[in-house]
Amino acid sequence: MRVMPTESPFAELPDGLPPGALVEPDPDYFDDETLAGRDVLWVSDKHLTDAADHWRRLYERRVETGLYPLLLDTLDESGRPWHAGEFSPTPVGTIDVLSAGGVLRRFWNGLIEEDASGLLSGAWPGLAEPGEGGRDPETVAGSIAEAVEDSGDRLLGLVPADRGADTLTVVGWDGPVNHTGCTEELSAVVRSWEERFGARVIAVGFATLDLSVAAPPATFDHALKVAAEHYAFCPDILAMGEEGTLEEYAESLVDAPRWSFWWD
């Protein structure tokens, strides 16, 4: 176990990690001098063939270690953004003052103002009701981690955060910067999904996000309200996705244990 200064959230790294390094944000990417020089991420040196195995083990120990694991993908062979430190970290308290409903309503209203296709109509429909029943969130998370790895080897990351939603803000992930430059807004929404649908953050790429979902919508009507949340959260699911309408996208969400997002 690697021992570091006690003030560091990485003072004690878990045993059994592959070769890796701590990463602090590149100062060219953010303005908060109080966070300068602080490590916000541990990341493996290379993509791993067994990243999902490491993820499951570290996820089970996240409360003990104070470190939440992520499967990380890169833009190119340079390792961007993870190895390059292309982050804009923000104190986790900035999430606490936001509500998912308020964030999504503002996104939705902005999209309506710009909508020239007639895709959207009417006022923000409000948050969808929580999913009912469902499976154990931790079991589903493990299975989705395996599914993510099946699509390609991933880096392994560790972030000092209590929950997956907060990792995005703690690191200062800038993947959705063309949609919002305030990552805490996305964290507030993901927190709500954690609570309403048993969602867990599994994987983060340069501009992608994958969640496991233990209690997804079971009916089309419920899924349609969830689809509205997804579209406000990530408009590119329709602009760049296979589904051409919100209704078609909603059909894909019924009983779906994995939610994937990609920003242009």
Each residue's pLDDT, cut to its tens digit, for the chain (264 residues) gives 443 444 788 989 999 999 999 999 988 877 666 666 789 999 999 999 999 999 999 999 999 999 999 999 998 777 899 999 999 999 999 999 999 999 999 999 888 876 645 556 678 889 999 999 889 999 999 999 999 999 889 999 999 999 999 999 999 999 999 999 999 999 999 999 999 999 999 999 999 999 999 999 999 999 999 999 999 999 998 865 555 788 999 999 999 999 999 998
Question: What's residue 6's pLDDT?
Answer: 45
Specify the pTM: 0.92
Residue 168 carries which side chain, given as an amino acid letter?
A: L
- Torsion over CA: 176, 182, 186, 189 (sign): negative
CA distance 42 to 10: 8
3-state SS, residue 182: coil
Contact at 8 Å (CB) between 171 and 87?
Answer: yes
CA distance 186 to 164: 12
Contact at 8 Å (CB) between 207 and 183?
Answer: no
Instruction: Provide the 8-state DSSP code for 12.
Output: B
Angle at 176 between CA 175 and CA 179, to 5 degrees: 160
Q: How many CB atoms lie within 10 A of CB 63?
A: 10
Contact at 8 Å (CB) between 172 and 36?
Answer: no
Note if the bond before 81 is cis, omega within 30 degrees.
Answer: yes
Place of tokens 């390059």: 84
Contact at 8 Å (CB) between 199 and 215?
Answer: no
Strands (E), 150-257: 155-159, 199-204, 208-213
**Per-residue buried b or exposed e for 95-105, using 16+ beta carbons within 10 Å of the residue's own CB:** beebebeebbb
Question: What's residue 185's pLDDT?
Answer: 98
Q: In what order do the strands lie in the sheet with 208-213?
A: 20-23, 41-44, 155-159, 68-72, 199-204, 208-213, 258-262
Question: What's residue 33's pLDDT?
Answer: 67
Listed residue (132, 137, 136, 25) closest to 81, CA to CA: 25
The angle that helices 164-171 and 183-197 make with each other, rounded to 10 degrees, is 170
